[in-house]
Amino acid sequence: MKYLTLKLTEDEYKELEERARSEGYALVSDYVRTALFGRQEQTEKGVDINAISNAIAQRLERKLQDVLNPFTGKIDDLARRVTALEERVAGSEEQKPQKQQETRTQQQQRQEDQRKTAMDILKERGVLFESELRLRSPDAFFSKLDKEGAKIITTETERIAIDQEFLREFKEKLSTITTEDMEEAQKKLRPNEYKLFEKLKNYAVAIFDSTKHRWILLLE
């Protein structure tokens, strides 16, 4: 090992000592060595301090990721659930006015139905079957329709009220049916007409004349 000797004045040494202290050096000689050759990155054994630091940092980062990954997945899942819940709440809020409107419409319809007379309802539907009505006073209901001009057919199990215009059209269509085949009859009749036709046939009020090939209604 070689030695280097510097001759300095008292003031020069004090200045050098202050610089070394400000840079964090305990010895002035270490400060001078660093000033001459730069800060050494390796120890005397040749170990790269920066490489070791980077390796330790990478391992710590991987460990930290391993610890955080399960929580990250749970956080993502929670975020998706919150988003889905927000969408459901928003959709529910949007549907409320529509449901309220539907409720008001239904209430208005019921109120209008309550204001309608029995004859108004019969004219709208064409035919009313007692078995399908919920009536407090069925006798009074059908008696009122009879007085107002509706055709009332009384069978063993129920009464049937028919609007006169509906009955006229029904008879005209029935006269065009020349077969007992119910499927053929269904093709020529509307749903409510076909329902009436089935009931009249079952109650023997509508019978098929095989000689004339036509249906006959036994109405008073």
pLDDT of residue 43: 45
pLDDT score of 1: 63
Mean pLDDT for 40-60 is 56
pLDDT, tens digit, 9 for 90 and up, residues 115-134? 788 899 999 999 999 999 98
pTM of the predicted protein model: 0.48
Q: What is the mean pLDDT of residues 8-16?
A: 81
Which long-range contacts link 204-207 to residues 24+ away (Cβ below 8 Å)?
205/153, 205/155, 206/174
Instruction: Give me the torsion for CA of 26, 42, 36, 25, rounded to 10°.
Output: -10
Q: Six-digit token pair at 156?
A: 């063993």
Task: Please state which of the ranges 14-18, 24-28, 203-207 shows the lowest mean pLDDT.
Answer: 24-28
- Helix crossing, 28-37 with 10-22: angle to 10°? 80
3-state secondary structure of 151: strand
Least confident of 9-23, 90-104, 139-153, 173-187: 90-104
Q: How confident is the model at residue 219 (pLDDT cuts 50, 70, 90)?
A: confident
Task: Give the three-state DSSP class for 124.
Answer: helix
Mean pLDDT of the chain: 81
- The answer to whether 122 touches 167, Cβ cutoff 8 Å, is no
CB within 8 A of 167, min separation 6: which ones?
A: 151
Cβ burial of 173 (10 Å; 0-12, 13-18, 19+) is middle
- Is the pLDDT at 113 greater than 60, yes or no? no
Least confident residue range of 71-85, 94-108, 140-154, 192-206:
94-108
CA triple 129-131-132, angle to 5 deg: 70
The sign of the torsion formed by the CA atoms of 202, 204, 205, 206 equals positive
Q: With pLDDT > 70 as the criterion, what percentage of the chain qualifies?
A: 76
